[in-house]
Amino acid sequence: MNLATTRFESARRVLAQPLFRALLALVIILCLGALFNAEGSFFRWETHRDMLRHISRYGILACGMTLVIITGGIDLAVGSVLGLVSVLSALLMIHWGWTPLAAVPACLMVGLCCGTTSGALIARFRVQPFIATMAMMVFARGVAKYISGGRKISQGVQTEDGFVYLDFPRFFDLLNARILGENIAVVTLVFLACALAAGLLLARFRPGRYFYAIGGNEEAARLSGVPVARTKTLAYALSGMFAAVAGICQAAQETQGDPEAGGSYELTAIAIVVIGGTNLMGGRGSMALTLVGALTIGYLEKILSLNAVGEAGRLMLTGFIIVAAVLFQRGKN
Amino acid sequence: MSVPLLEMKEISKSFSGQRVLQEVRFDLRAGETHVLAGENGAGKSTLMRILSGVYPEYEGDIVLNGTKLRFKSPQDAARHGISIIHQELSLIPSMTVSDNIFLARERTGRAGWLRFSREEKNCAALLERLGVAARAGTRVGEYSIGVQQSIEIAKALAFNARVLVMDEPTSALTEPEVERLFSVMDGLKQDGCGIIYISHKMEEIYRVADRITVLRDGRYIGTADRDDLPRDGLIKWMIGRTVDEQIHRDPQTPGAVALELERFTVPDPGGRPRPAVNGVSLLLRRGEIVGLAGLQGSGSDVLVNGLYGAYGPVTGGQVRVEGAVYRPRSPKYALDRGVALLSNDRKREGLVAPMSVTHNISLAALPRLSPGGLLRDALERNVAERRKADFGIRVASLAQAVGTLSGGNQQKVALAKCLEVEPRVLLLNEPTRGVDVGAKQEIYALMNMWTAAGIALLLITSEMPEMLALSDRILALHQGKVTAEFDRSNATPEAVLAASMGGTGKETP
């Protein structure tokens, strides 16, 4: 009897765990996939590989978004920063022939600067995160259009002598490749590396702990000697840098830098974080939850497209499922 | 004159099983100012919230003009002519005086159009009658706190308030503003209003009161005409308790000076012109507990917060910690110099509710516990285990979120966090607030242990027995200034309370 009660208790505690709930949501989606398997294509590895490749850029954005949301903020600028960096990296590596050893750090720096600016506005000048990052979203999009002249940056260049094709950088080829016997995309590995880095920061390093403390109770954190302004700025700076990583991947995958790229990606990134179960109020959540959230959103879209649900239906269903998943995860709390 | 305007009979009220008011009675005549007195937590505010409809659930009766009534909401009470002037003003600074006065009671014509000009005309007449130096069309935020207070009164009177409750109305006012307020009150009395006046200032109580009623620990103690109740009688009514023998203190031989304040000044955190702490000097030695006695608005909590750097680098005067110059700047600065603060609001300022017990305990000491920026789980767990044993923190698991613990255990976690930074000066603001009796005893024992280890404690507590039993010396604060200093030989509850209300602490027998 006693043992049974204890078991029941511990089972209940596991059920209440956010990670368990997030996994349950993922399993439900997978079951739906197995049910509506589009004549068996859901059971082929290629389907999963392509889903992972497709979700990677969003996932990379979600890594930074997780950090920011845990501090109790939001970063709306990540989609635009992705667009800006995709243009910049294409410009540097395709048009100007920079080596990736110089171009990649330059791109990351630009992302970092965008994020640091938002962060400083929020932490030092007390602008609301929504407003500050919305301003950065608009500004970064403007810069992307300015440096690209409003055109896509690709191999083909119009010169006075006519149309010239430039070499496609090997770095982009590498990033766009599939390795291990064509079984996994390189961008997916980049995503996993980003998730690992963000996860380690949150769980193993002092600033990560401070993110939770600030999101949980900013005033208590401040009175405990936590450098609140510096820590918040760091969260947005890293979010900008992850967006830059995603921007380079975007350019490689699209084989061009599109100044319009990344529009509304920030919303997908937020959806991934929230579906994973990280609380928008801050102070709670983890990188593991975001990983599960990325898979959930990725499979959802994949299953809908496998079953040839049109875009209209797909969007409407996605809206429903986001709400359902969030309500489901909130449970009794 | 003898028929009461308002009668509150046998009012009782409980919050989650705890009785905060026990058969309290109170009556108010037309044309009088009736002072409601009592220590912090005596039940004055609760009684007034019942009267004004904030707490519609209570036992007992309210009789207004001979009719038994039960107010369901503040709006309901206002309709019956009962108005409260709060300590924190309830005006909206960005709206005009006239719009504020008519807020939610707008004068509308047919089809719901607002009649601005009529509102402004009514408002101007009202302001003129009260002698308020404000214009109906100006935004409230442009006026000083004193004028805003008068506007608040005008707002109450615009709707024919017969009963006016004023809760510490002078705490933010300058001397001439206070005088103007008192003359407005005299006018109201002549018009037949009854005023219920809550104050912690002895001078003021005897200046305005016609009668005085005292509450203590949620009970009715007595009512008397002002002239029948001398000051020491009032103090006796308010205290009534003897020192609790349960609180044990092992006095230590004081060591070297740990904290020295010289003419320490902190501006009002709410931006009022008068400093909240005004030229306080004190000496605190290692192993000593010095109590800061004071009622609401005395500035004692602003003093410790300011010393801790919670308001930033705004303080004035000289501070030395263990002989070294100390300029309060930020909590980080204080912690680096061995000054730690236990906040009196652990929910808002003390703990991070969703974080685990372990992570809360280690939070302030994280620079030491995570060398190189790398978190060391084992190190943090050891620290938390040790504090859990020392402090008797009762939790199922140290990984539990701190928000799920009982008040007493939360307080111990908050204390453990402070101790983890290995402080030399510990500022304790209400260390036993919201804590059960058993946990209180454990906290007293801990305080004895810390002083034995040479830590200097600055103590704020609103419980007089605790203040008297624990403090080796007591400074009484009133309106930001030290009014008296006591040691164990002359610290009686009466003397300390009298000094906290603005006396010198020597006039009581």
Eight-class DSSP state of A257: B
Contact B232, B505 (CB under 8 A): no
Q: What is the DSSP string of B61-115?
A: EEEETTEEE---SHHHHHHTTEEEE-SS----TTSBHHHHHTTTS--B-GGG-B-
Question: Using one digit for the tens of pLDDT, what is the confidence trace for A93-102?
Answer: 888 888 888 8
pLDDT at A293: 92
The structural domains of chain B, with segments of one domain joined by +, span: 4-239, 248-338+423-509, 352-420
Mean pLDDT of B264-276: 87
Question: Using one digit for the tens of pLDDT, what is the confidence trace for B24-44?
Answer: 999 999 999 999 998 777 888
**What is the ipTM metric for this complex?**
0.84
Grade residue A15 by pLDDT with cuts at 50, 70 and 90: low
Q: Which residues of B touch A202 (CB under 8 A)?
A: none
Of residues B52 and A161, the one with the higher pLDDT is B52
Distance from CA of B345 to the nearest CA of A (A): 10
Contact A59, A195 (CB under 8 A): yes
Distance from CA of A213 to the nearest CA of B (A): 6
Q: What is the DSSP string of A222-248?
A: HHTT--HHHHHHHHHHHHHHHHHHHHH
Q: Which residues of A touch B353 (CB under 8 A)?
A: 216-217, 283
Nearest CA in chain B to A210: B363
Lowest mean pLDDT among A249-253, B165-169, B347-351: B165-169
10 Å Cβ neighbour count for A331?
10
Of residues A294 and B501, the one with the higher pLDDT is A294
A212 touches chain B (CB under 8 A): yes
B81-to-A14, A21, B5 alpha-carbon distances in Å: 56, 54, 11
A263 touches chain B (CB under 8 A): no
* Half-sphere CA count of A304, side-chain side, radius 13 A: 17
Whether B4-239 shares its CATH topology with B248-338+423-509 is answered yes
Residue B85 has pLDDT above 50, yes or no: yes
| Residue in A208, A213, A227 closest to B363 by CB | A213
In the numeric block, the tokens 């501070």 are attached to B319
Distance from CA of A57 to the nearest CA of B (A): 29
CB contact under 8 A, A225 and B364: yes
Residue A258 exposed, middle or buried by CB count within 10 Å (0-12, 13-18, 19+): buried
Question: Using one digit for the tens of pLDDT, what is the confidence trace for A209-221?
Answer: 999 999 999 999 9
- In chain A, the domains with their CATH numbers are 22-32+44-330 (1.10.3470)
Domain boundaries B4-239, corresponding CATH code: 3.40.50.300
Is domain B248-338+423-509 in CATH 3.40.50.410, yes or no?
no
CB contact under 8 A, B367 and A206: yes
pLDDT at A1: 44
pLDDT at A154: 81
Prediction pTM value: 0.80
A207 touches chain B (CB under 8 A): yes
